């Protein structure tokens, strides 16, 4: 898997958390229109939310240079997630990427009258930059109108909603503290892992797979004699990278979601800790990477065994559904 494919996979896998955080933390509850009227800001992924969203974007970015500034990258990424999911719900299609379209950034390949995914790519970053440049507050809606025209007939999708964000964080299933933490933390996961692996003896040998988890378990059991040693100030950087690697690996393989523990009992291992939630059938299974790292001191196979348990439960679930 090349770097572009890895980044795209991470983009899709993080959709629930990052899109949910964008909606809750970055979009306002109300918005002041040019005529001074204060209105409720729509956050429902509906077509009617696009004009208001575009006005809000224009209020944040005076020009394309500001939109491309590094400090605004997280907001723009959340914005293209919202735009993409809105287009998918309105016209159908899929998320896609390649090296040519949109400078390698994710885009939407919409459905058309000719069939599923037959439309010209909708390059989301380019659309955002065009909107900021033209400053008409009509670009987002015009893109959607064109995609609807290409559906033919009455312009309704030919298949059910193909959006990805149905399980995202929202005000009902998460607290403000959790959203704020994850908004900061998620962006540190992949860079933190990249920096951590570069400090290892064989940086290129680390992958998001079971063997790497098993190797990390062996490394932790040799590196530390006690939890106190692991928790020392000198080990913060190493342990932080290892914790992110554990969580992201089990999340990708087991199809889980980063969460953060708030409003739990003090002795709950998830309290004030990032953890991975797996929804298996009608049950939640939560894995706390920090606890797995500690468990490796007693059992070097603890981390890999946790992944095995998740995979077994997934397979059992799939088997039950097949029956």
| Residue 234 clears pLDDT 90, i.e. is over it | yes
Low-confidence winner among 78-87, 136-145, 252-261 (lowest mean pLDDT):
252-261
Tell me the pairing of strands 93-96 and 274-280: unpaired
**For 206-233, what is the mean pLDDT?**
95
Residues 190 and 140 placed together within one structural domain of the fold: no
Residues 243 and 140 placed together within one structural domain of the fold: no
Q: How far apart are CA 257 and CA 170, in angstroms?
A: 14
pLDDT digits (tens, 9 = 90+) for 62-94: 999 999 999 999 899 999 999 999 999 999 999
Task: Evaluate whether residue 25 is within a structural domain.
Answer: yes
Residues 305 and 223 placed together within one structural domain of the fold: yes
**For 139-160, what is the mean pLDDT?**
91
Residues 26 and 143 placed together within one structural domain of the fold: yes
Task: Evaluate whether residue 156 is within a structural domain.
Answer: no
Final residue in a domain of this structure, among 149, 164, 196: 149
Residues 231 and 94 placed together within one structural domain of the fold: no
Cα 42–Cα 46–Cα 48 angle in degrees, nearest 5: 65
Low-confidence winner among 1-10, 220-229, 241-250 (lowest mean pLDDT):
1-10
Task: Evaluate whether residue 35 is within a structural domain.
Answer: yes
- Integer-rounded Cα Rg, in Å, for the chain is 22
List all residues 6 or more positions away from 247 whose beta carbon is below 8 Å from its beta carbon: 189, 258, 274, 275, 276, 287, 289
Residues 8 and 137 placed together within one structural domain of the fold: yes
Task: Evaluate whether residue 300 is within a structural domain.
Answer: yes
Would you call 112 helix, strand, or coil by DSSP? strand
Q: Which residue has the higher pLDDT, 179 or 323?
A: 179
Low-confidence winner among 16-25, 49-58, 106-115, 225-234 (lowest mean pLDDT):
16-25
Q: Rounded to the nearest 5°, which phi and psi values hold at 211?
A: -60, -40
Task: Evaluate whether residue 45 is within a structural domain.
Answer: yes
Residues 75 and 203 placed together within one structural domain of the fold: no
**If you search the block for the tokens 């899709």, which residue do you land on?**
12
pLDDT of residue 111: 94
Tell me the pairing of strands 274-280 and 283-287: antiparallel
Residues 218 and 85 placed together within one structural domain of the fold: no
Distances in Å between the alpha carbon of 219 and those of 193, 222, 299? Answer: 16, 5, 11
Scored b (16 or more CB within 10 A) or e, 41-77 reads bbbebebebbebbbbbbbeebeeeeebeeeeeebbbb
pLDDT digits (tens, 9 = 90+) for 286-297: 999 999 999 999
Final residue in a domain of this structure, among 99, 114, 149: 149
Low-confidence winner among 90-99, 110-119, 146-155, 176-185 (lowest mean pLDDT):
176-185
Task: Evaluate whether residue 57 is within a structural domain.
Answer: yes
pLDDT of residue 25: 82
Residue 14 pLDDT grade (very low, low, confident, very high; cuts 50, 70, 90): confident
The rounded mean pLDDT for the chain is 89
pLDDT of residue 291: 95
Residues 64 and 137 placed together within one structural domain of the fold: yes
Task: Evaluate whether residue 171 is within a structural domain.
Answer: no
Residues 136 and 184 placed together within one structural domain of the fold: no
Final residue in a domain of this structure, among 149, 167, 196: 149
**For 267-288, what is the mean pLDDT?**
89
Distances in Å between the alpha carbon of 117 and those of 80, 88, 147, 306? Answer: 19, 11, 12, 38
pLDDT of residue 168: 67
Q: How far apart are CA 9 and CA 80, in angstroms?
A: 16
Residues 145 and 9 placed together within one structural domain of the fold: yes
State the residue range of the domain holding 208.
176-322
Task: Evaluate whether residue 169 is within a structural domain.
Answer: no
Cα distance between the two ends of the chain: 34
Which DSSP letter does residue 278 get?
A: E
Distances in Å between the alpha carbon of 10 and those of 65, 192, 215? Answer: 26, 14, 23
How many domains is the chain partitioned into structurally?
2
Q: Which two tokens stand for residue 48?
A: 């009617």
Cα 238–Cα 247–Cα 97 angle in degrees, nearest 5: 110
Residues 41 and 116 placed together within one structural domain of the fold: yes
């Amino acid at each position: 898997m090349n770097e572009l494919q890895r980044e795209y996979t991470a983009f899709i896998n993080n959709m629930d958390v990052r899109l949910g955080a964008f909606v809750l933390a970055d979009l306002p509850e109300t918005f002041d229109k040019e005529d001074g009227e204060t209105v409720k800001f729509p956050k429902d992924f509906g077509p009617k939310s696009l004009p208001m969203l575009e006005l809000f974007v224009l209020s944040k970015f005076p020009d394309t240079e500001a939109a491309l500034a590094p400090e605004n990258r997280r907001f723009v990424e959340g914005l293209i997630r919202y735009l993409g999911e809105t287009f998918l719900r309105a016209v159908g299609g899929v998320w896609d990427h390649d090296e040519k379209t949109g400078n390698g950034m994710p885009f939407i390949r919409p459905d058309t009258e000719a069939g599923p995914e037959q439309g010209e790519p909708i390059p989301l970053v380019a659309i955002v930059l065009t909107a900021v440049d033209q400053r008409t507050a009509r670009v987002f809606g015009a893109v959607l109108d064109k995609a609807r025209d290409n559906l033919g007939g009455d312009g309704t999708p030919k298949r059910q909603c193909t959006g990805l964000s149905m399980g995202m964080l929202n005000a009902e299933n998460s607290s403000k503290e959790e959203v704020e933490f994850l908004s900061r933390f998620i962006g540190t996961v992949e860079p933190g892992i990249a920096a951590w692996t570069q400090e290892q003896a064989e940086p290129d040998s680390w992958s998001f797979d079971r063997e790497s988890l098993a190797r990390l378990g062996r490394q932790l059991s040799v590196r530390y004699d006690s939890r106190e040693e692991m928790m020392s100030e000198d080990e913060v950087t190493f342990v932080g990278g290892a914790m992110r690697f554990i969580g992201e690996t089990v999340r990708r393989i087991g199809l889980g979601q980063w969460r953060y523990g708030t409003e739990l009992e003090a002795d709950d291992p998830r309290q004030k800790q990032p953890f991975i939630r797996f929804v298996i059938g009608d049950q939640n299974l939560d894995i706390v990477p920090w606890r797995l790292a500690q468990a490796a001191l007693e059992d070097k196979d603890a981390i890999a065994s946790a992944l095995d348990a998740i995979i077994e439960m997934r397979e059992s679930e799939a088997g039950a559904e097949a029956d």
